[in-house]
Amino acid sequence: GDSGSPLVYENKVVGIVSFAISCGIGYPDTYTRVHKYLNFINENTNNLESVQISQLL
């Protein structure tokens, strides 16, 4: 499915797909706002060296 797919605005990830209704033609997708979870993301990805969180946001 599409869960976890990014919503990008001006080359920045601003959301990720939270859930969608089947390939939902005619239905909106539901996104999670990434900025609300930055502390969690940073705390749980602090050992990743291949991508800096600041590059994604």
Written as tens digits, the pLDDT of the chain (57 aa) is: 566 678 888 988 888 887 767 666 777 778 888 888 888 888 887 766 666 666 666
For 35, counting Cβ atoms within 10 Å of its Cβ (0-12 exposed, 13-18 middle, 19+ buried), the class is: exposed
Tokens 């605005």 -> residue: 9
